[in-house]
Amino acid sequence: MTQRADADVELRRAVAADYPAVGELTVAAYRTDGFLDGDEDYAATLLDVARRDREAEVYVAADDSGTVLGAVTVCSADSSYAELARDGELEVRMLAVAPAARGRGVGRRLMDEVHSLARRRGMTRIVLCSQDRMLAAHRLYERFGFARSPERDWSIGEIRLVSFALELAADARTSPAS
């Protein structure tokens, strides 16, 4: 499925040709904001977009020339990438916007696509976790109506992850695709 967000950004499922750009922009976004300091193992995970797209789903925002501006991974509870998702929930992972594309609404457009996917699939909730230091991302999630879910917060070593959830109204959901 391809959806045009506006005249210069296309939202679509990633294809193999996108994988290198998605990996590089994700690592660049995390590094630019200081979220990979000393965590090269996670950088390797972010770069392995082929695995991510096999075990979850990767969506991209690309400009008219095909340049990938941002990406997001989504998964359900049965994915190896799920950290929080339970039955009926769609989880957001690894949302990233290329540093040069920031301020163009790319993150918002990707989150719009996640919301549409969840509604089309009949999900009850969208969940995600984020490093406690990712304050700009937290503001984006809150603008979308996400609320903190502190009962799902957790840590990996020194990294504290805070959780958010967006309840989807039953009348706004469509039945799962057959």
Domain boundaries, the chain: 2-172
Q: What is the CATH number of domain 2-172?
A: 3.40.630.30
What pLDDT is stored for residue 8 in this prediction? Answer: 80
The pTM score is: 0.89
Q: pLDDT digit string (tens) for 114-153?
A: 999 999 999 999 999 999 989 988 998 999 999 999 999 9
Q: 4-17 pLDDT, tens per residue?
A: 444 589 999 999 99
Question: What pLDDT is recorded for position 126?
Answer: 98
Q: Which residue has the tokens 């082929």?
A: 50
The pLDDT tens digits of the residues spanning 67-122 come to: 999 999 999 999 999 999 999 999 999 999 999 999 999 999 999 999 999 999 99
Weakest-pLDDT range from 33-37, 53-57, 70-74, 119-123: 33-37
In whole angstroms, how far apart are CA 128 and each of 38, 123, 146, 155? 23, 14, 9, 14
- What pLDDT score does 41 carry? 86
Q: How far apart are CA 63 and CA 11, in angstroms?
A: 9
CA distance 111 to 118: 11
Q: Does the structure show a pLDDT above 60 at 28?
A: yes
